[in-house]
Chain A
Amino acid sequence: MEALLIILFPFTAFLLVGLFGRRLGDLTSAIIAVLGSALSFLFSIPALLKALNSPFSVKLYDFISLGSYTLTLGLYFDPLSAITTSLVCLVSTMIFIYSIGYMENLFGQWTYKFYAYLSFFLFSMLLIVLSDNLLGMFFGWEGVGLASYLLIGYFHQQKYATNSALEAFVMNRIGDWLFLFGIFSIFYLFGNLNLLDIFSKVKEIDPNLLGLAVLLLFGGAVGKSGQVPLHTWLPNAMAGPTPVSALLHSSTMVAAGVYMVARLYPVFESAPQGLKVVALIGGLTALFASLAATSHTDIKKIIAFSTMSQLGLMFLALGIGDKNSAMFHLTTHAFFKALLFLSAGSIIHAFHHHARDIYGVGGLKKNMPITYATFFVGALALAGIFPFAGFWSKDLIIASSYEADFGLGVFVSFVSFLTAYYIFREGFVMFYGPERHKGHFEEEPHEAPSVMLVPMVVLAIGSTVVGFFEGWYMTALKDHKEMHLNIAISSVVIALLGIGLAYLVFVKRVLDPEKLYQSLKPVHTTFKEQFFTERLYHKGLARGYMDLSRGLFLVGDRFLIDGFINLLNFLYFRVVKFLWIKLDIYTVDLFVNGVAKFSFRFGRRASLIQTGLLNNYVAFLLFGLVVLLGIIIYFMG
């Protein structure tokens, strides 16, 4: 039952901070969030050790009965989910600690909300990872979407941030829609949502129908992991605070897509046509995002594109049937991507959150030596240089793709060449060269406080050593791969070539970058604008949709509905006015006034017989008596 605590700690932290954060204060809230995450990590280790021996499930309760089938919510621990849980908790803990330093200048401005969201983010991700059924996974999936929306738009005074948050939410919604229908189709095909039951029955289902379900599920992964064509939210999500970017890109949000495909891999495996689509989308995104990263100049967006590209590689590996390499790359990637983001955040922090462009800073090597070191550890790991983490995992993917197809191998090698080039381009521009920030900023950039540096160093150590766990990881997932020495050497050489190119251009200036920029401007713009997809979405689809809505509003609402209503209004007034004149004035009023006038006049006349003369009264008496007697005689006689 202590396995349940893993998921409850972040949730408790979320509730505590969310409900009482204002009274607790921002620093206490931060510490509670860190504790929730760290305790989850501690409790995930015994669960991991237990799961390595034998996978086990924790049943929580019967959630809902669907016809003959009762859906039981529960957690499932096997090596895949247990290792991912530990990884997510460890990286999140580091990022949470880092965020104390990063957000310090905002303390006192309701920053506890930030920590509540972070804890909720972690909780949702753990729910995705550990859930033993698709519905539980979907809960986490939506929770992650919500938390990312709240965190990307955390600086909600800025229009840009709220727009980015909205974009992320809408893009994810498209993916979630597909994912939901994937779950429906899985339930339709299997009559079950429990993962283990699905895996045991997967061979009995028609692969064509399964292919459709798999494509729908993959649609969800595309949205969540920022793959083409639902990718534009990912670079724009950089509007959030840097710890959020780090969390989003390393362990929580985008990893969910890859993890989901890996989790449901038996299902995907049984639908080979679906896997081809996964590979195609992955490969496309890998190339697309690396090209965009080579030309972008935003500190964080370059790293964001790099994430897209690495996730594309993971999907490619999943698509060609190498699930374990993909998951191992996800693990190592979490370390060095978090590290890169935290280092970038350290630079942004040094400039008091005003630095955005890599050409706005320069020569930071002497001011920020530790950040310099950690950034380059991350960059080396990303580029795949021995012995850093990326080398081991990326090498597996490269080897698998060469096994699958030689052309595919060349393609992946080219992507890793680009990867090495763009990340070192960013590093060289920021840490070498002239101090471009001179004159724009009054203070000298300073090294970050130790509360930020310690997580960075821990992650740097992780990025260095985690690759050596490859053998252990593969044994845990019951897989074994031979190292291909020639592929390993060639991929390191390719990465070194990329680094060398970046070095020559941006440090030695053998080719002048500005002249190069001028001559390659159209290509540069194309890459930077992500082949104009973002512009197409924003200007074409979004604005087209807005224009369509506005047009429909004018035609449908203003013209048809309002016109109809106004016509009714007009007619009603006409009819009512007619009735008023005819009925009220000419009939009722005339009658009432007539009665009044008649009574008035008649009274005037009638009062004249009231003379007061005794003789008259006697005459009336006589008249009355005669009439009465006449009546009596007439009727009685």
Chain B
Amino acid sequence: MSQTSAVFAPWAEADAKPLISFDRVTKSFGGFIAVDDLSVDIYEREFFALLGPSGCGKTTMMRMLAGFETPTEGEIRLGGEVLRDQPPNARPVNMMFQSYALFPHLSVADNIAFGLKRSQMSKPDITARTEQMLELVQLKDFAKRKPHQLSGGQRQRVALARSLAKSPKLLLLDEPLGALDKKLRQQTQFELMNIQESLGTTFMIVTHDQEEAMTVASRIAVMDKGKIIQVATPGEIYEYPINRYVADFIGDVNVIEAHATGTDTATLTRGEGLKPLEASWGRLTAGDGKLWLALRPEKVQVSVDAPQGTSNALQGKVIDIAYSGNLTTYHVEIDSGQIVMAQEVNRRHLADRSITWEDPVWLSWDKGAGVLMRG
């Protein structure tokens, strides 16, 4: 991959040194393996997201970085140094907790200054730094309040300010926006990104919300059962998932099982009497065999008349219509009996919609619209 200097992608540079590296890390609790022989490098200034269902080991990875858990096997390095024997209080890593973990007996300012008071910093410097952090999260007027006198969003900002106050090399965020409502969460996502960009601190976020990961992260690691399935940029993960698990976890997807043949373009046969489909090999090397076509709903067009000039067109019947305001998702039963989702942006008013339940429709997509997966 060629990189211009304007694009932030240290992971693609051969000589870049990672800030954090997990080197074949395994963590087991009794018989349960939470993290399984996992290796990954995270670079300075990254906003790295660990994404996965609960129990996939993402929180354990974060807790090992913070120092609350020790790897059973393997090593974690921060700036080249092995972290194993450093207690949490000695690590240049701070964490923002899911519950925020604000100290209820301390004021907002004292919460933020808590970590600074335990460093070598002088009193005037602590005061100045606290002021600065309060300003960063726009809570200057709330310095004297106690946590229970704040709203959820304000508490979240205090927790962020507190964890950033010591200028950690790495900030860990454990489901930081989980407790906020959707509007506030989206707004806060942008705030987080702005803060991360302006400070240049490396952020690592744990989340099970794929939209959140897509929005904030420079790279996403999709995890399952203690392993990282794929690490890539949000766009890459969405457009080129390496297997069905990733494709299914990020966004909506139609997965069509088929047998592929061909060299330049894959010809997909789905079964006897069914129309074969065409797809580009994409990043896969050509080769005959069973595979899956992942097709995002927004890349499938719905039309009443037979479409012209596309590589794939299938006839089907509308089973369900999910209207969500800006989008409409059609659930269409195709020749094989499978339900395929197709999404349209609602540019016109609802009343003008020409397709309704039970209507026969055409689904069409280009051969480059989907992605082929062997796993």
Instruction: Report if A and B associate in a common complex.
Output: no
Residues of B within 8 A of A (CB): none
